[in-house]
Structure 1
Amino acid sequence: MKAKNAETPDSSSAAEIFKWVVTFALLAAAVVGNHLYSDMSVVIRAAGVIVLIAAALGVAALTVKGKAAISFAQESRMEIRKVVWPSRQETMQTTLIVLAVSVVMALVLWGIDGIMVRLVAFATGI
């Protein structure tokens, strides 16, 4: 059974909707305020927009989807720490191998194309 959600569905969904409305209202205020106060200094407007976006992100982080996104980001960061990154030498060797194979394949395809053009020209009498 799912006893995890102890709140009533109506109150939690209403609260979630309210949080998302506040989030989008803050983002809209950032856009509209930036437009309305276009005669003010760019630094002041940028600071206002940054503050409103930070507030919108803060409110969004309180929602269920926001908490899930934060949890996902934290788990992703932990997984990235587990990755064994190649050394500079391994990266250079792999890059050179890829370049060499690309050049060889380009030459092979160029040769096949030349042969096919000659065969079609021979077959059609051009």
Structure 2
Amino acid sequence: MKANNAETPESSSAVDTIKWIVVFVLLAAAVVGNYLYGDMSVAIRAAGVVVVIAAALGVAATTSKGKVAISFAREARMEIRKVVWPTRQETMQTTLIVLAVSIVMALALWGIDGIMVRLVSFATGV
């Protein structure tokens, strides 16, 4: 937590609890409203559900766990920017190598399986 936080942990926790209750009530309202207004146009119901879910996410983002989640998402986005993605040629070469090795292994296992079946049938006389 930040040192200049004016709220006490108890009041922050109580406010967060109320906010989470509001979030769950909004989500339940989206589900129930979608069910109750089933005779309305799908586009109108979808728009209503999207608006209610956006409101729920907005409320959730103001909680302490919501702020941590947003911070994590920002950091993950920065890390993704640091990734060096393979070129098209590297991707194609790697894909072909994996495909070739998979085919060779499949043929080898098929051959071993055939040999084992013949050995077992020879040993059992079936």
Q: Shorter-chain TM-score: what band?
A: over 0.9
Two-structure CA RMSD over aligned residues (Å):
1.5
State the number of aligned residues. Answer: 125
> 1:3, 1:59 → 2: CA distance?
21
Q: CA deviation at 1:7?
A: 3.0
Moved more, 51-60 or 10-19: 10-19
Q: 1:52 — aligned with what?
A: 52
Q: 1:115 — aligned with what?
A: 115
- TM-score norm. by structure 2 comes to 0.92
Q: 1:38 — aligned with what?
A: 38
Pairing 1:1-126 to 2, within 5 Å after superposition: 4=3, 7-126=7-126
**Structure 1, unaligned stretches of length 5 or more?**
none
**Structure 2, unaligned stretches of length 5 or more?**
none
Percentage of identical aligned residues: 79
- TM-score norm. by structure 1 comes to 0.92
- Per-residue CA deviations over 1:28-75 (Å, capped at 9, x if unaligned) read 111111111122222221111111000000000011111111111111
